Amino acid sequence: MFKKLIEILLIVPVLFGFWYCTEKLTDNKLENQPPETNLFIYPDDVISQQPSRIELHWQGDDPDGLVVGYYYSWNGSDWEFTGLNSMEFALRIGANDTDYVFYIMAVDNNSNGIYDSNIDRNGIDLGPEPFNDVNNNATYDDGEEFIDIGDIDPSPASQQFPIKNSKPEIEWNELTVLPDTSFPIMTFRWNASDIDGDESISKINIAVNDTSSFVSIDGTIRLVTLRTDQFDTENPQMEILLNGNENFIADSKLNGLKFDSDNRFFVQAEDISGARTNFISLPDTSGHWYVKKPRGKILIIDNYVINDNSKSFYKEKFDSLNNYSMYDKYDVWDLIGNPVPFRNITFSETIKLYDGIFWYTDNSPDLDLASTSIQNYLNSGGKIAFSLLMPRSIDLDLLQGFLPIDSIETKFITSVITGADIVPDNNYNLYPALKTNEPVYIVRTFVPSQTSASALYHLISPQVSDNDIIGLKNNDDNLVFIGMPLHKCDGIKGGVLKLLDKIFIDEFGLGL
């Protein structure tokens, strides 16, 4: 009995202690601990002036739960949610170096399990909980996934970043290579960039010869075409075609061009803070860019690859047009020996300087260039005559881009003999007869367009079978095409000179 009493007395204190501890656990629950946030950058060094693109990293720790994401802000008022632990930011600079402060605070999973249309933590209104807007209606709908926001770090990590403005960089585009000599039309392209973001480039400054007299254009422009038709002044002004587009011309014009002299073009980039690159020039001091003033109404386009007497032949004929009155009143452009950068733009604008064109080629004509430029030239009032041999293989669609033909003979004539006759069509009996004075290789006849052109010349030769049309004239009287090299068709003395005189003086009206 006594032994039993001792055992009871020993057990009671144990039970009482257990009850006491249970009451304490029940009545005094431990509160949830909010997460803490750490912010750092790589490399881990002293924060000094940074470029305006910066990568930041952060990490959240929660002693009694899990971190589900972060809210960040660059002003302490507007907050964005992210589930990432690092991001790259592009910070716009102002007119001067700028200080920014970044805030980041971790979010834990001590949440209520329902979607909240507005959450407020630590006195900060964070708006609705982030959700996956499946139907893109900007409203949370039942069933859409959302981030259930719990407790948030009451003391966000922060860091001040002094952002240093960086000067832009500029260089010539690799395709911008100036010829030694050109007419007063030229296209330039450059590459410009800024570590602060290319959008921070506010101006491009361009100049000809004198950098103290530059014109500023929009900072997004990377290509310009300069042109002028002011040939009666020593101080011509040049129009600036932005991106080479006829429909976008800068309000200001560029001064400084010198005719029949060497010139230099300068370009400079400027950002929104006023920081500028040095001017770069083309050509540099080791090169030359000689700009010729057009001498007359006619341009001869030399597209002839073979080295024969063609250059001297056509010079002699055009010097003699209209009884020598055209002597040296025309220009010659050697497409093979003097190419230009961005040729489609530059070529199209250059030929507009002239009222008439004579384009002669061998079997390697630049059909791409002709197809992209000639119709616009004709539409602007220009007139053109071709002496053009077609290549062995040809894209008819490309040819029809500038010539009014319905078809070409698929089988070319390997060789037209010396003495073959080239006679005018009956409808054009005032045109002179021609005769080959040496063999002509790889010749094609063709069928003119039934709606916009008519036969002008026929080839009479043993090698010609069915179709014999070798020349045409369009119905608008502004295009003549001869599918033979005229300098090999002067077997009748004076025949080619009479033809050129007939086309350019009588038909085109380009005499003095």
Which helix (H) or strand (E) segment is 43 a member of?
Answer: none
pLDDT at position 200 is 86
Q: What is the mean pLDDT of residues 215-239?
A: 96
pLDDT at position 216 is 98
Measured distance CA(489)–CA(387) in Å, rounded: 11
* CATH code 3.90.870.20 for 298-507: no
pLDDT higher at 117 or 15: 117
Q: What is the mean pLDDT of residues 391-407?
A: 92
Residue 9: pLDDT over 60: no
Residue with tokens 């296209």, as numbered in its chain: 187
Using only C-alpha atoms, the chain has a radius of gyration, in whole angstroms, of: 40
pLDDT tens digits along 52-79 = 678 899 999 999 999 999 999 999 999 9
Return the CATH class of domain 36-163.
mainly beta
* pLDDT bracket for residue 10 (50, 70, 90): very low
**CA 381, 382, 383, 387 torsion: positive or negative?**
negative
Residue 296: pLDDT over 60: yes
How confident is the prediction for the chain on average, in pLDDT? 89
* pLDDT bracket for residue 92 (50, 70, 90): low
Q: Given this chain, do its domains 169-291 and 298-507 carry the same CATH topology?
A: no
Q: Nearest to residue 253, comparing CAs of 228, 231, 218?
A: 228
**CA 500, 343, 396, 307 torsion: positive or negative?**
positive
In sequence order, which ranges of 380-423 are alpha helices (DSSP H)?
396-399
Residue 262: pLDDT over 70: yes
* pLDDT bracket for residue 98 (50, 70, 90): confident
pLDDT at position 22 is 44
Token pair for residue 444? 């094609």
pLDDT tens digits along 448-461 = 999 999 999 999 98
pLDDT tens digits along 135-188 = 999 999 999 999 999 999 999 999 988 877 778 999 999 999 899 999 999 999
In sequence order, which ranges of 28-185 are alpha helices (DSSP H)?
none
What is the 8-class DSSP label of residue 90? E
Fold of 169-291: Immunoglobulin-like (2.60.40)
Q: Where along the chain do its domains lie?
A: 36-163, 169-291, 298-507
Q: What is the mean pLDDT of residues 344-362?
A: 96
Q: What is the mean pLDDT of residues 220-248?
A: 96
Token pair for residue 421? 């006759």
Token pair for residue 115? 């979607």
Residue 8: pLDDT over 70: no
Measured distance CA(512)–CA(505) in Å, rounded: 9
All residues at 6 or more sequence positions from 207 whose CB lies less than 8 Å from its CB, including other chains: 213, 214, 215, 254, 256, 265, 266, 267, 279
**DSSP E strand stretches across 62-97:** 67-73, 80-82, 86-90
